[in-house]
Every structure is written in C-alpha cells, then in structure tokens.
Amino acid sequence: MSVFVVVLLNSCKKQEADKSNRPNILFIMSDDHTSQTWGIYGGILNDYVQNKNIERLANEGAVLNNSFCTNSICTPSRASILTGKYSHKNGVYTLRDPFEPDSLNIAKVLQNNGYSTAIIGKWHLKKKPSGFDYFNILLDQGRYWDPILRTAENFDKPQGHWDIHKGFSTDVITDLSINYLDSINKDRPFMLMTHFKATHEPFYYPKRHENLYKNIEIPEPKTLFDFNRANGRTFSGRDLDNMAWRMENATKNPEHSMFSYPGEPFVVDGLDSIAKRKYTYQKMVKDFMRSAAAIDDNIGRLLDYLETSGLAENTVVIYTADQGYFLGEHGFFDKRLIYEESLRMPFVIRYPEEIPAGQRIDDLILNIDFAALFADYADAKLPKDVQGKSFRNILKGEKQQDWRQSIYYRYWMHEPYRPGHFGIRNHQYKLALFYGKPLDKKGASKEITEPAWEFFDLKNDPQENNNAYNNPKYKNIIAEMKTELIRQRKLLGDTDETYPEIQKLLHQ
C-alpha cells in the first residue's frame, strides 16, 4: 500500500473520529427574560433576582455583554435565530407572519449532518415545524398552567386530540426535555431547543415562588416617572399606565381581558399618577422575577441531568432570551424598540472542551449569528445567503479582526406610539430613524406618524435619557453614522427600493 493511500485512510479515519466528537447542543431560550433580571449584568435588581444556575453557567462559560436581536419581537426574532437572516430576508417581519415549513433552517442543516434534532416548548411560528426529528410545542403563545402541546402525530388533528400536560409550563417543558434526552441514541450528537413560555406577560409563577419578595420593596428605575415624551423622546411608547389598565381590567372585567394575572385583584382606583405607577411597577417586577426564578430552577435541572448522564463535557449549553423587555425604564413595559433594554439579548454559553470559564465578551453579536455558530460546531456548511457569522473563535478567547463594529436593527410592526424604525448601534453611539409608516406589513397600524431621528451617546448616557440628535457637538459623528447606516442597508439588502419616501428621509 502506498504512503499516499495510508495517509489518506488515516485522514479519513481522523475526520470520522472528529465528526463523532462533534458536540451536542442544548439551546435553552425563554421569552422576554430581559438582562435586568439575570443578575449577572448588574443593575438595580441585581441583589434581588434568583439566579444561581445562570451564575453557574456564567462561571463555567462565557457571557456576551453585547448580544442583540435584529427585530425585538417574538416571532421575527425566532425566525432570525433559525435562519441566520434578517426579517427582510426570511419573510417574518411581524407577529402575523408565519415561518414557512419549506424554508431552510438550522435544524434542517444539522439534521442533514447527522444530528438528532428536537424542539420542545414555545415555537410561536404558526405553521408546522420542519427539520426536527421530534417536536412537542405549545399551542400558539401557550398557557402557563396545564399547557397544551402538539406533536407531529397530532399537529394536524382537531384540538381535542392535542395533549394537556398537568403542571406549570416551565416545569413541564423541562420534564419533556429530559424525557427526550433519555430516549435518544447517544451515539449521535443532538441539538435540543428547550424553549420556555416564561417570562412572557402575564408573568405567572409556580406556587413554590408565590411568597418570593413578599413585604419587600424593589428599587425603581430612575426613569420610571418619565411622562409625556421626556428627554427628547419622539414618541409616547407603551407606558406602565397601560399595564395598570390591563391588570385592573382583568380584575373588573375578566371576560373581556386579554389575560388573567397572578395575585389578582389589582385595583388602582383613587391613586394619583405617581402612586399608580409605583404600585403597578412593584407588582409587575415581582411577578416577572418570580416567573424568572422558575426558569432558573429548571436550568439547574437540565444542567444536573447533563452531569449525571455524563453528557456535560461534550455539550454546548446556551441560555438566552428572544429579546429584552422594559421593566419600567423610560416608564415603559414590553419591547420592540431599539433602546437597550429591548434590543439586548442576554446570553451565556458553556462548552468545557474549548470555552475558557469566566469570560466576558464585548464583541457585537447578533441573533442571526446563532445558526452559523451551531453549524460551526456541527462541522456543517450553511447556504451563502445566510447573513450571520460564527463567533466560535471569539468564544475561545481569540480576537477576530474582521468582526463587525456596528449592528443594524429594524422593527416593522408600526404603531403610532411605537413607530416603525431602523437604526445602527456601535460600541459608543446609536442612531435611529423612526419613519412612522406601515409599509404594507401585516398587523401594522395604518396611522402615519411624523418621521423623527434619535441619537444617543451610550458612553456618557448609557440609559438613553437624552436624545442628542440636535446637539451640534455630535454633528460630525451623526453624519458618519448616517453614512454607515446607508452602507449597512445596502450591504444587507434592506434598501426600501419600493418606498422612495423612506430613502429620502435618510438624506435629510
């Protein structure tokens, strides 16, 4: 046998061995579990949150300080994670857009490269999942108690054939995830997406946490009492008075309420505007942190399972949220906006084989990068039209010289109090154009608002309390950022060619 053939055979054997050692991927994601309540990002809630298992992951892996979504709303964010593409490329712009089963996604890529693939919990992409060997998903948004879940066997059957699982949804989804891991062939690597409904409004929690924060007053954000477009903000936003109305309406008119809320009744009759906002904030933030505590419990259960089953060393574990959430900052609740609390995706990752423990990473990472990272771990190729990039080397502690220095963001589901907008953020500055038009998108309001620019110096104004767009001090920086914004839009293929009025606004 020639030396060449021997070398070739040895090379093939090495590739097979390397392929067999590809890591498992456990991708845990919650809904709206904002960084303010993780306890590893600092802030006023840092000493109040229950987060021992998030801290456990952080201490054993890496934390991303600057991970962001590209469209801060549930359905589009999930589509971007699956496809590695912006909304204008994957076709999921708003909550109303379905993710088509024939679309290419990371589950299909890994499935075609030998991985067992599964998703359990929240799907929220309307149509039947594809690319997964197994799925067991919540009905639409899902409910917190006794959740209804759908499998491949009953997905197309009438609702009476779907499965009701007794218990609290976060616990149930973890039970099903562990059962799945127990059932699969461990000779194949797996990718399991465990997706919790929590901490989505109405922020329910299990009975074991009902007395958490009882008789404790939680610190308030400095901007809780921002009323009437404070600090140069150009639109009103979704303020906490609306949350108060929703919770009070659930008490007084439960048959006409969108949700029921834990701990009802909620009544704010007779309170002035300040007292009303204080009372609403205390209830919302406590319920949110109670719901989040149940997530942390179940992250611990999943980590313990990996340890006892001998899977921990060769499993990439990620915990993230599909976007951020306002917890009273700027007087807001909900998400959707380019402001930091909404834009930021908290993210922690552990992979003992190659990620140094205890890292904090400042590079700008986007949710469109997740699919590329998974493909990198799986030694799989992605289509050329994927817009994200793997940050595996960054996680190893290596500098990546060609990494992005700014990010592009766009929110499409226009409403007068939260206008359609796009913008860019770099390591110090943020520039956004609130163009205020529906642009024919599903679920967008037809009411047009006046276009407006906002600019923030994140180093000197980290809480974005001062819209400095008209400050002459920043004139040259804003001009440079507009140039970069136009460049990014062209590079990413989001140029609004069919809406010339949007293009004109960029040059004003």
* In the chain, where the domains are located: 18-207+290-405, 210-230+238-279, 408-505
Whole-angstrom distance, CA of residue 505 vs CA of residue 508: 5
pLDDT of residue 229: 77
DSSP 437: -
Give 408-505's CATH code, choosing from 1.20.58.220, 3.40.800.20, 3.30.1120.10, 3.40.30.10: 3.30.1120.10
Whole-angstrom distance, CA of residue 412 vs CA of residue 443: 9
Characterize 472-501 residue by residue with b for buried, 16 or more Cβ atoms within 10 angstroms of its Cβ, and e for exposed. eebeebbeebbebbeebbeebebebeeeee
pLDDT of residue 331: 96
62: which 2 tokens? 């890496």
pLDDT of residue 438: 98
364: which 2 tokens? 């700008």
Overall size of the chain counted in residues: 508
Architecture of domain 18-207+290-405: 3-Layer(aba) Sandwich (3.40)
Orientation angle between helical segments 273-308 and 52-60, nearest 10 degrees: 60
76 closest CA partner among 142, 27, 125: 125
pLDDT of residue 130: 98
pLDDT of residue 12: 38
Q: Are 180 and 120 in contact (CB under 8 A)?
A: yes
pLDDT of residue 5: 35
18 closest CA partner among 328, 378, 363: 378
- Residue 172 three-state SS: helix
pLDDT of residue 60: 98
Sheet strands (E) in 256-395: 315-321, 326-327, 333-334, 347-350, 359-361, 365-366
One fold for 18-207+290-405 and 408-505:
no
DSSP string, 69-106: -SS-SHHHHHHHHHHSS-HHHHS--STTPPPPTTS--H
User: Which stretches within 438-499 are classed as H helix?
Assistant: 475-492
> CA-CA distances (angstroms) from residue 377 to 86, 346, 388?
22, 21, 15
| Angle (nearest 5°) at CA 197 between 195 and 200 | 135
| Angle (nearest 5°) at CA 499 between 496 and 505 | 85
Model pTM score: 0.95
Q: Are 505 and 421 in contact (CB under 8 A)?
A: no
pLDDT average per 10 residues of sequence, the chain (508 residues): 35 41 97 98 97 98 98 98 98 98 97 98 97 96 97 94 97 98 95 98 98 97 88 92 96 91 94 97 98 98 98 98 98 98 98 97 98 98 96 96 96 97 98 98 98 98 96 98 98 96 89
